[in-house]
Structure 1
């Protein structure tokens, strides 16, 4: 549903790193606004080796993985540490149990299988339950990269009335996550960050973002923006890209090597004031799936190509962006 443009741009960000809550002030040009912050834990999985990964897969689910989808990239070389391929996979798995696209949890298995076969370096995830990560999604990435570290960070959408996490029908928290891989030789740990947008639509769900900084390697964020108002979705996108991400980079003392993915509920349309391109800062590039999913990355990452993968158990395609990391 489209609502006339009325929301002004929000620039406020908050975060939590390694359990330490940090309040990040908005730029001077923005109107200050209070923001609620919660700590964001990081789940890291050490390299397990190919044999152990195979045993873990069988013990975990007892189900055979489906055949590799057309265009899967299991055989693609990862490259050297100095210049390696750096692929980002965006997935909205519609697994809350509340939406009409819910398919009894099968989207998590389908998404996990796509993660395994494509072996991305990053996965940004929307509409998942907290338990989906340890149950299938992170193990799928760990199996794809058995000799490397993997990590995940999750942050829920929040209930406006209570401030408590929105829950899936199974009782788990419902929200966004970043799932990633770091070569063992480059592993220095991961810091987790999270925040909620001050500009929200009239619904009861407070939209949020989750970010992870793989120390010395890359920063990535995942978000799911307002579905009820394109002006508000754009304001949220601008808050993330023009305020939150720069604030996190400043706090971490980093520049570049940043990837943000998600269901923005915005399309690329130059005739629309709520064009997704309007939340892309200078020095960054956006690639979209032709619909509402987008990936924005800093220009020190080299763009290669994109692919879409049709999924049966969710209403969004899997969207892969192939980058190279110098």
Structure 2
């Protein structure tokens, strides 16, 4: 009798295995996830009040409209005031990070003209990129003789990392800052992107990207780089009313 019970158990086990195998044939495998688009929009809004291109906030209006229209994953911002970032965050729903330039004379944050808050660089991100980790804000070792001391801002998010900066208008100093930028960005790994007004054109900007990173530029001083996890598909410039430069949109796949 015991032998008969064992035989029935073996038969039941074979039947169950056959059913599992049949189910595997009937249920299609989940399709592989396609590489998703990942767009980075670089903007110099010239809203500090220091330069002739200052338009009393018109560039901020235009930037908000461009973000709504193009919906980039990351927006890198130069020459903005802290209240600009607050407003852009409120009106787009994006997350934000901000780093003020340093004031050589006082050692503290540099302010925008007319007491409009701190002046510097910022990053806006689609909430889908996840929570922000601890920001990295580093003044460059190399600085020119101007009162504004330049900084780089980098932020790791759950699904990506981003850096932004504006380099010195002095080409020799910018070249040294450029190498510092590459070292900082390299430490963020294969999911990092970087955008900024680098003050450098053509091959002079190449050292700003770690080896093997993708590179897009506007034919002038604005550049976007993508780490090894990104493939540059195309780039274009976007008119930004009231700014000195058009926006640079780099479209990546990953």
2:119 to 155, 160, 174: 174
- Alignment partner, residue 190 of structure 1: 133
Is the contact made by 2:214 and 2:230 (CA closer than 8 Å) also made in structure 1? no
Matched position secondary structure for 2:142: coil
Matched position secondary structure for 1:191: coil
- Alignment partner, residue 74 of structure 2: 122
User: What does 1:1-326 correspond to in 2, within 5 Å?
Assistant: 83-135=35-87, 137-142=88-93, 150-171=94-115, 172-183=117-128, 187-215=130-158, 217-227=159-169, 229-242=170-183, 244-247=184-187, 249=188, 255-269=189-203, 275-325=204-254
- Alignment partner, residue 68 of structure 1: none
Matched position secondary structure for 2:202: coil
Q: How many Å separate the matches in 2 of 1:155 and 1:314?
A: 20
- Alignment partner, residue 19 of structure 1: none
> RMSD in angstroms over aligned alpha carbons?
1.7
Q: Deviations over 1:70-127 (max 9, x none)?
A: xxxxxxxxxx976321100000000011211001111111111111111100000000
Q: How many Å separate the matches in 1 of 2:56 and 2:134?
A: 33
TM-score normalised by length of structure 2: 0.83
**1:292 and 1:121, CA in 2 relative to 1: closer, same or farther beyond 3 A?**
same
Is the contact made by 2:195 and 2:224 (CA closer than 8 Å) also made in structure 1? yes
Q: Kindly state the Cα deviation for residue 162 of structure 1 after the two structures are TM-superposed.
A: 1.4
Q: Kindly state the Cα deviation for residue 312 of structure 1 after the two structures are TM-superposed.
A: 2.4
Matched position secondary structure for 1:194: strand
Q: How many Å separate the matches in 2 of 1:286 and 1:177?
A: 20
Is the contact made by 2:95 and 2:124 (CA closer than 8 Å) also made in structure 1? yes
Q: Kindly state the Cα deviation for residue 182 of structure 1 after the two structures are TM-superposed.
A: 3.6
Q: How many Å separate the matches in 1 of 2:243 and 2:33?
A: 35
Q: Kindly state the Cα deviation for residue 202 of structure 1 after the two structures are TM-superposed.
A: 1.1
Q: Deviations over 1:43-84 (max 9, x none)?
A: xxxxxxxxxxxxxxxxxxxxxxxxxxxxxxxxxxxxx97632
Q: How many Å separate the matches in 2 of 1:225 and 1:140?
A: 28
Matched position secondary structure for 1:232: helix
Q: How many Å separate the matches in 1 of 2:198 and 2:131?
A: 31
Q: How many Å separate the matches in 2 of 1:117 and 1:82?
A: 24
**1:320 and 1:161, CA in 2 relative to 1: closer, same or farther beyond 3 A?**
same
Q: Deviations over 1:223-265 (max 9, x none)?
A: 00001x11110110110112x2234x3xxxxx30110100000
Matched position secondary structure for 2:176: helix
Task: Note the residue ranges of structure 2 that are not aligned, 5 or more in a row.
Answer: 1-31
**1:193 and 1:81, CA in 2 relative to 1: closer, same or farther beyond 3 A?**
farther
Matched position secondary structure for 1:311: coil
- After the TM superposition, which parts of structure 1 deviate over 6 Å for at least 4 consecutive aligned residues? none
Structure showing greater Rg: 2
Q: Kindly state the Cα deviation for residue 139 of structure 1 after the two structures are TM-superposed.
A: 3.0
TM-score normalised by length of structure 1: 0.65
